Structure 1
Amino acid sequence: MRFARIGEPGAEVPAVSADGKTWLDLRPLAQDVTGELVAASAGLDLAELPGLPVGPGTRFGPPLGRIGKIVCIGLNYRDHAAETGAEPPPEPVVFMKAPDTVVGPDDEVLVPRGSTKTDYEVELAVVIGRTARYLDSPAAAAGHIAGYAISNDVSEREFQIERGGQWDKGKNCETFNPFGPWIATADEVGDPQALGLRLSVNGESRQDGSTKNMIFDVAHVVWYLSQFMTLYPGDVINTGTPAGVAMGKPDPKPYLRPGDVVELEIDGLGRQRQTFGAA
């Protein structure tokens, strides 16, 4: 099952689809898409829900209505660590993004003022559906995952790496987390370590990887994070990006500029397309 929020910014309608083609209005059952709702999808009766018109030009907003926190994992693909010259980390590298960075999957993304190193990162996003604290093992993580979606973990590398302090300055610029178009439930996705991820810029392929190359798999990441923070329904985890980011390319590195078009996809989770503009 897939959950989305369809409509203009601030007026999105919660929607559900059993087949990925026909979208139904969820409002008779729920006022918004939440982590708890996605986790309880098996108990939803869709028989009487009205349809929603979806066609060319229909906007999909961020598919989760109330995002708690966004926890991100850095350097989590072997090939990405190699391209940046970093050793694979012995434990997950953790940083945060603010929920107000989130925009829809096809919304405009803004290159920050003074930026010369805005970068792209296609990532598998995990949506938490049940509170997780001090999980006993990675095997326990599956019972706390509601579903999966696409995130573009947009980053400004100078702000992130060259301006001192932690990574947060390069990760929390306005519009720096396109999310969606939908959340696919965990049972629909099946094995999260068998998904292809792809990203192109202006039609040129830049990233083409697989979640099988994660250093720390999804279950390990959820278990690990639960040892340091409580994960609540509606929290999102961005699980890292494969090789091909601009930072890892030879000089002159192809960082993003206003007017660039970025397209990304993950198997079974749809596509995103963003035009970058100037802040």
Structure 2
Amino acid sequence: MTQVPILTYHANNINGMAYQNNDHVALQEDLQLIHDLGFRIISLDELMQWKAGNMSDSEFEKTVVLTCDDGTWFDYHDVDHPTYGKQISFFNILKNHQQQTHTPVHMSNFVIVSPAARVILDEKCLVGRGWWTDDWWLAAQKSGLMAIENHSWDHNHGVLDNKNADDDSFKAIDNQADCDRQLKQSQEFLSRFFAGQHPVKYFAYPYGNFSDFLRYEYLPTQGTQLGLVAAFTTEPKHVTSKSHLWAMPRYVCNNDWNNTEQLKNLLLA
């Protein structure tokens, strides 16, 4: 049975300069491994075409999808980290890999949408230097290397004034009003931001989890009206033809694998 892994990275994960504590280092090494193993990087759009039965299984043997979450400057801009020095952005790592290998690359970037929330997150979770803005979204989208997608209005992050008591759950988003705020509001903002030129079709659950209301009622009945066609968890499994559209699995770097040998085993499983 054909199965496709989705790999997820966090550019904010910079706690050193080794694979296990820096997702920039990990991504660069992983791209080389993916290339050496003969895997082909595909986009979420291509994956969904296969999932819908519009492309044959044989076309998706040895394929992999790349995603990243949160949408800070570290995703697109090279930034001088105050402790660990210059960090090459995910975008430039992808671009360099493409230029060196002459193979297609693509990454879907699930961004936190609320400008006000990003200001607070920049101050409390980064170093307060304005590294969580959206000034790069248009350029990233137009590049063809990175697509901007929806990671909710404010991630229900614990540093904000919200319903999150322990900073590790999206399960409190469990009613119509809260779902509208986190999903509908963010979809409408992104539609205005891209002036209708880029329809945002994919949503990644913050923390990878969800309430029963969001997963089983809201998205199945209202997701399509919002322009969404699929939602993504962090359940560590490959995508198959039977994966549910509103709970598509993803593997997370330095959670589900911690080095290239583990990733090799995951890819070849």
Relative to its length, the structure with more helix (as a share) is 2
Shorter-chain TM range is under 0.3
Larger % of strand: which? 1
TM value normalised by structure 2 = 0.24
Q: Greater relative contact order (Cα 8 A, min sep 6): structure 1 or 2?
A: 1
Compute the TM-score of the two structures, normalised by the length of structure 1. 0.23
